[in-house]
Amino acid sequence: MLAEDSMFPIRSEKNVMRAKAMVFALGALAASACVPDWARQGDSPEILLMTGINNGAPLDSDVRISSGTVCPDFVSLRVENHQKNPLNTDASFRADIVIERYGVRYFRSDGRNTEGVDVPYAISGNVAQEVQAGSSATLSLEVVRRQAKLEPPLKNLIDFGGGQVVTMFAEVTIHARSTVNQTTNAATARLQIDFADFADTLTACPAAQ
């Protein structure tokens, strides 16, 4: 045996293939760790974004207007449709998406989040709003239903004349599909809501935004 053979043993082909497989697996793992959640959600090449809710302002929610009527609360949502791959310039109807459903859950910053006691029960519903490829749209969404104001904890605010205010946060999540029936990522935004029995002169519920 030559001296150089003992110093540098020859690797078998099997070991080389195993090493290459290990490098490939590590590379794939590192790459997947850098992919954001929205890129992994759904099988649609489009991204659903929620870029505005109630124009960025908190919502004052009156649990009962002066006539004694209980009204729902609506807010405007601004949504956008973009391509995951910026090199994809498809602007046909196949790249359009339709928002189909939504959900709202409520929570408080003090950690008291028991539904029906500290916060209203979570709600969900259906909606139909098209967002064309590469564009934005605005839709009106019901974030507080009448039922919530007829149940604790919101009904407990009635007759305080605005003297007691409870601040909560609504987490709004929307879901959509493309026109070729591919699922997009879910988009979420949060809204601050100040609940009280505000003093007002309203005799009818305000129109939805």
The pLDDT value given to residue 207:
85
The pLDDT value given to residue 177:
96
C-alpha 47/C-alpha 88 separation (Å) is 12
Exposed / middle / buried, residue 209 (Cβ in 10 Å: 0-12, 13-18, 19+): middle
Average pLDDT over residues 51-67: 96
pTM for the full predicted model: 0.78
The pLDDT value given to residue 17:
58
Tokens of 174: 């929307």
C-alpha 48/C-alpha 99 separation (Å) is 9
The pLDDT value given to residue 92:
84
Domain boundaries 43-196, CATH class: mainly beta
Average pLDDT over residues 86-90: 78
Residue with the bigger pLDDT between 209 and 136: it is 136
pLDDT at 100 over 50: yes
Residues above pLDDT 90, as percent of the chain: 67
The pLDDT value given to residue 9:
52
Please give the mean pLDDT across all residues of the chain. 86
The pLDDT value given to residue 8:
47
pLDDT at 33 over 60: no
The pLDDT value given to residue 120:
98
**What percent helix, strand, coil does the chain show, rounded to 5?**
20, 35, 40
C-alpha dihedral sign at 108, 112, 113, 114: negative
Domain boundaries, the chain: 43-196
In angstroms, what is the C-alpha Rg of the chain? 26
Tens of pLDDT, residue by residue over 36-49, are: 564 566 679 999 99
